[in-house]
């Protein structure tokens, strides 16, 4: 068989481990030939690709990012995109395509399979950990490690200066990174997109800490967190060239508001893309490798329209339809565990 592979959407640690696993399992176990498309869906649309071999993918396991590079290009936002992908698969003699990505990339993969009948399967990745049908996505563990280390460091400087430190982490629709890094780092308040917040409640938690003799506080806020209606003004967000709202800014806004309302000196740290860069943790390397091996096996079996998923510690194939049906959000009971330690 001849199999194509691409990485789409935001990059994340573990992508290279998954690519390596697809190449090694495919070539050594199934006798596949592997074509690596460049820049996500732009690769098949614009005929950008390289043959991948065991030699060309050697040494990439611990490397962050993706050797295939990535983009947010969506074949359904281009005139005749699905037909171009079909023609490209035919022209390159490909029996199928493995798309490694998050909600957008897998959404396109699902539609290419479901609507256009193309032999496509997915592999879930995102630091946001918000994909349905899998217990976890690779990239998330590394992002939580980076954010937790930052919170630990901010703790000591916050304590030395009697300051409030607001830490803005990634998390567009789901607050998984904020919740886990905040819990691990002992945050005094954690704000997530799933729960609109009242800044006065946050200030109340900070005042309570002061009344108990703790003169510093750490507030972790997900970039997608929003104030409850009528409680605080926010800035207008703009969009990138692919129509995605460019987030960022809630941390800055929140820190000004906290300082004004409490009178306590406040600073903000926006972690941004540092959470997505660099070497993956051992956990992410192993999860990405297991996913890549399962995807190669699924291609060999002709299980198109599916995606390997982590379920109760095992890797199982699930329907792409289920993976993209809705986002996996932070459940109330998990947030309530964190709330125990607020203020």
Pick the stretch among 22-30, 120-128, 196-204, 321-329 that binds ligand F6P (CB under 6 A). Answer: 120-128
247 sits near ligand F6P (criterion: CB under 6 A): yes
Closest CB 268 distance from ligand F6P, rounded Å:
17
73 sits near ligand F6P (criterion: CB under 6 A): no
Which of 104/257 has CB closer to ligand F6P?
104
The token pair at 79 is 């005139």
Q: How far apart are CA 240 and CA 23, in angstroms?
A: 33
**Active-site residue, 238 included:** no
Count of chain residues binding ligand F6P (CB under 6 A): 12
- Tell me the sheet residues that pair with 258: none
Which of 93/272 has CB closer to ligand F6P?
272
CA dihedral 128, 43, 309, 304 (to 10 degrees): 150
259 sits near ligand F6P (criterion: CB under 6 A): no
251 sits near ligand F6P (criterion: CB under 6 A): no
Closest CB 267 distance from ligand F6P, rounded Å:
22
If residue 310 lies in a helix (H) or strand (E), which one and from where to where?
A: strand 306-311
The one catalytic residue among 11, 104, 128, 141 = 128
**Using CB atoms within 10 A of its CB, is residue 315 exposed (0-12), middle (13-18) or buried (19+)?**
middle
The token pair at 174 is 């789901």
Angle between helices 250-262 and 199-211 (to 10 degrees): 50
Q: How far apart are CA 117 and CA 333, in angstroms?
A: 40
Q: How far apart are CA 236 and CA 127, in angstroms?
A: 25
127 sits near ligand F6P (criterion: CB under 6 A): yes
The token pair at 221 is 């806020």
Which of 181/296 has CB closer to ligand F6P?
181
From 7, 66, 74, 126, residue interacting with ligand F6P (rule: CB under 6 A): 126
Binding site for ligand F6P (CB under 6 A): 10, 102, 126-128, 170-172, 223, 240, 247, 276
Active site residues per annotation: 128
């Amino acid at each position: 068989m001849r199999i194509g592979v691409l990485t789409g959407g935001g990059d994340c640690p573990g992508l290279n481990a998954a690519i390596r696993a697809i190449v090694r399992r495919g070539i050594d176990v199934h006798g596949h030939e592997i074509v690596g498309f460049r820049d996500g869906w732009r690769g098949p649309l614009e005929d950008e690709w390289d043959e991948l071999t065991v030699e060309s993918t050697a040494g990439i396991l611990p490397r962050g990012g993706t050797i295939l590079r990535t983009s947010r290009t969506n074949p359904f936002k281009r005139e005749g995109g699905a037909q171009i992908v079909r023609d490209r698969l035919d022209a390159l003699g490909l029996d199928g395509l493995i798309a490694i990505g998050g909600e957008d990339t897998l959404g396109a993969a699902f539609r290419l399979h479901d609507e256009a009948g193309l032999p496509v399967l997915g592999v879930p990745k995102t630091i946001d950990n918000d994909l349905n049908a899998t217990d976890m996505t690779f990239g998330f563990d590394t992002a939580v490690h980076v954010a937790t280390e930052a919170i630990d460091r901010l703790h000591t400087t916050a304590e030395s200066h009697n300051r409030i430190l607001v830490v803005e982490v990634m998390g567009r629709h789901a607050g998984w990174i904020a919740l886990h890094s905040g819990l691990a780092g002992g945050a005094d308040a954690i704000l997530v997109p799933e729960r609109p917040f009242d800044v006065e409640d946050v200030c109340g938690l900070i005042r309570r800490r002061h009344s108990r003799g703790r003169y510093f506080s750490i507030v972790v806020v997900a970039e997608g967190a929003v104030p409850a209606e009528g409680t605080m003004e926010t800035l207008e967000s703009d969009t990138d060239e692919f129509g995605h709202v460019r987030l960022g800014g809630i941390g800055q806004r929140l820190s000004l508001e906290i300082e004004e309302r409490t009178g306590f000196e406040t600073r903000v740290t926006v972690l941004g893309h540092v959470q997505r860069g660099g070497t993956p943790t051992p956990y992410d390397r192993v999860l990405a490798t297991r996913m890549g091996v399962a995807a190669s096996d699924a291609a060999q079996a002709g299980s198109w329209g599916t995606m390997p998923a982590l379920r109760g510690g095992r890797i199982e194939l699930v329907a792409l339809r289920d993976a993209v049906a809705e986002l996996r959000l932070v459940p109330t009971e998990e947030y309530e565990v964190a709330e125990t330690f607020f203020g």
